[in-house]
Chain A
Amino acid sequence: MTELAATGLTLAGRLAGADFRLSPGELVVIVGPNGSGKSSLMRLLAGQGHPDSGSVRLDGNEIARFDPRERARRIAYLPQRAEVAWPIAVADMVALGRFAFGGAEVTRGAGDAGQWLDEVGCAPLARRSTATLSGGELALVALARAFAAETPLLLLDEPTAALDPRRQIDVMTRLLARSRAGQGIAVILHDLNLAAQFADRILWMRDTRIVAESTSDAAAVEANAAAIFEVSVRIESGSDGRVQTLAVQQDRPSRPE
């Protein structure tokens, strides 16, 4: 069982004393205003760069000590911006997710790319050149690449930012299914509606700190959203107590007529 645990992560001006834990089978959502340190946190959790203080431990061992491939076999991390420098085929790009498992796996992965593309609803794109993709399609293909690594843990930085509403829900549904199948997933979102509907836990960040951790039940989401984003939210919850829809409103109740 792979576990990721961070204590007291600090990065000058960007992150202060963040504690974090991710276990298999859970879907953790990180939310917070722009510049609140979400991406910096996730980068450190993925073993990219070194904190000024604090530590990230993967299965009890300092993450910096891991061989890069060894680490990449346990954690897949999807950066915020999907980029591709050459017009390679979509299937080849997805197969690059198998890199940490050796060259033969990458070659095999190009043939198996369909299964991961299917997960993000992009199976028909397999033969296309990545140069012809739209921003949203490229983001989905990059997500398929992270899926292709089939790691116990998955760290995703705003995978839904470029997607239409249907695709956002599809992606979150996939992530939920993957977490129920045993994968531990942490995902940064800006959409409180998605966060509240899918998260097992929500981490709330503000001004470089993790200021709250909550479940996704209506009262907790409402209170934290008001405190952190300075917005008020209106929530409809289902009979099971989970949030069904969440609407964000301006904090001041009345607008000048």
Chain B
Amino acid sequence: MKFDKLYYIFSIFVIIYLGIIVVPILRTLLFTSINGLVQDSKSGIIQSIELTYLMAFIVAIISVVFAIPYTYFISRSPHPFFKFVDSIIELPIMIPHTVVGIIMLLTFEPSMPVGSLISKIYPNYRFDDTFFAVIVTLFFLASAYSIRTIQVSYTKNAIEYENMARSFGYKPLEAFMLVSVPFMWRSILRGMALTWARSISEVGSMLIVAYYIFPSFTHLVGIFIYSQFIGNGLIPAAESSSILIITGLLTLLILKILEGKDASYY
């Protein structure tokens, strides 16, 4: 196959881009020895990663559960008001994450508006340093990734196919599940993966709402590595970072394989 000049020019951009992404990751992995990783694995990093992955997974599932009906609703709402509503989705990405932590405290602390309502239903309700605080804050920050990824795949074609299925006798939910969900399957998984990955990387807001998580006092991984760096210096923090990178890479690889192929229509 013969490539044109543009192909070679653009390949330079690809190489530089990959270099910016891959070199720091490789540098971190090569900085640490196998022995160091084994030693560091006893520091609590594994429990921290397990907890963080679990929290991020829960947030990813909840995001998709909301993203699918959201996409359905917005796609069928032509009024300009809903365009405005849709633009709000990306706002949390723009807000500095420490500010997000403060926003969450201002909303969900038991003495605050939403928090006081919850307190009336659950008298022992508390917000900071709880699983609820982690999940609701990460959802606030990362759900947009699921929504935008799923929205891209829910095209006008999918809606026309759904209408066609309904004209063949299927109810709206049946048509949606039978026609559109297989069409969006890959995007749903990709949206989940993005939300999951974004949730894992969160530190700023977690420092404010959940420095520890009760009752185990386990840190989320971002805070754990930050504490290691502040308390013990670069090397233990680099070793924990390597463990996080390796497990993260493996998980993303598995998700990529699971993604498979979308159902495709003419």
Do A and B belong to a common assembly?
no
Residues in B lying within 8 Å of A, measured CB to CB: none
